[in-house]
Amino acid sequence: MQKRKLGNSALEISAIGLGCMGMSYGYGPAANEKEMIELITKAVDNGVTFFDTAEVYGPYTNEDLVGKALAPFKGKVTIATKFGIQIENGKQILDSKPATIRQAVEGSLKRLQLDVIDLYYLHRVDPNVEIEEVAGTVQDLIREGKVTHWGLSEAGVQTIRRGHAVQPVAAVQSEYSMMWRQPEEELLPTLEELGIGFVPFSPLGKGFLTGRFDGNSTFDSSDFRSIVPRFSAENLDANQVLVDLVKQIAFTRNATPAQIALAWVLAQKPWIVPIPGTRKLDRLMDNLGAANTALTVDELSDINTALNDIDIAGDRYPAEYAKRVGK
């Protein structure tokens, strides 16, 4: 597995990471813990050194899982987790007050079985706390040796600039794929200017780009996609044109759709590290194969020309989630 550096930071990690959220939360009932530990171990065996989780996944159970799975590899892998979302009466509440951050970091360190968190993201920007105050609190945690690097998730470019001015940001995490290219407009140029790495989540369009779903697909009520407009039957059908494109390219390259979709993301910038998630070993190995599926300049140009002619139907978030991003 090739390595990549996240921007100007000292974080050098595998070119493809592993998003662990779906093992515990967000995509149906939690998977079997023993099987997920085996999956994470297999990822390490195949060169993955970057793993992503968050306090709110579960909540808490995903950090417990990741901590157990990666305890034997302490010092050999990089773990990213997130703070800033609390659960109150079953609802997600944004809370980035300094006292809450300090309480959160202690819980994450314990669950992850770590002495220091490698990369600590603000999960969503709290409109009630100035980003400079959040950055200052994280800066104190870095000085105290509890955190090494910090990042922002789904933040707007002005917030990124303001936070970066207080404490250099190592990475920004946001959705990015052939299906969602908005980061190309402002986010990627800003990150390149500031020397910040980019960690795209859902680089496979929440599984859509693999060709697994169509208008007949259904989702469990505990699967986040059940409330995502893009995954309504009507929009799943309308967006098959994108899947057809990816399948066509995959066929010509003797690759899988997942490998083409991930190779496209990897080809955009050398400081981008996608974190596709999965619960299945065959899909893990499929995804990791993207690291050896380099697209040529001509192929990328042809793909982007085709993508520009495709209008994606459906929003990527329901309204209540959409209003929390890009702040």
Q: What is the mean pLDDT of residues 66-89?
A: 96
pTM of the complete model: 0.97
pLDDT at 86: 94
pLDDT, tens digit, for every residue of 154-169? 999 999 999 999 999 9
How does the average pLDDT of the chain come out, rounded?
96
pLDDT at 320: 86
pLDDT at 306: 96
Out of 25, 27, 57, 176, which one is annotated catalytic? 57
* E strand map for the chain: 3-5, 12-14, 18-19, 50-52, 78-83, 85-88, 91-94, 117-122, 147-153, 171-175, 197-201
Neighbours of 231 (CB within 10 A): 23
Q: What is the mean pLDDT of residues 43-56?
A: 98
- Residue 123 pLDDT exceeds 90: yes
Cα 274 vs. chain centroid, distance in angstroms?
7
CA atoms within 13 A on the CB side of 203: 30
- Residue 15 pLDDT exceeds 90: yes
Those residues with Cβ within 8 angstroms of residue 164's Cβ, 6 or more apart along the chain or in another chain: 194, 196
Give residue 209's identity as a one-letter amino acid code: L
Under the banding of pLDDT at 50, 70 and 90, the label for residue 90 is: confident
Domains of the chain in start order, with CATH, are 3-322 (3.20.20.100)
- Residue 121 annotated as catalytic: no
The tokens of 247 are what? Answer: 């399948």
Between 4-13, 203-212, 318-327, the lowest mean confidence (pLDDT) is in 318-327
152 touches 172 (CB < 8 A): yes
